[in-house]
Amino acid sequence: MKIAFTTTTHFEHPAEEVWAMLTAWTRLPEWMPGVIAASGPPTPSVSGELRLSTSRGERVSVITDCDVDRLITFRSTSGPVTADYRYDIAEQREGRTDVTLTGRCDVSGPLALAAPLIRRTLRRTDGGQLVELRTVMDADAS
pTM surpassing 0.85? yes
- Residue segments in the chain with a per-residue pLDDT below the cut of 70: none
pLDDT in tens, 46-75: 999 999 999 889 999 999 999 999 999 999
At residue 94, the pLDDT reads: 87
Based on DSSP, count helices (H) and strands (E) in the chain, helices before strands. Answer: 3, 7
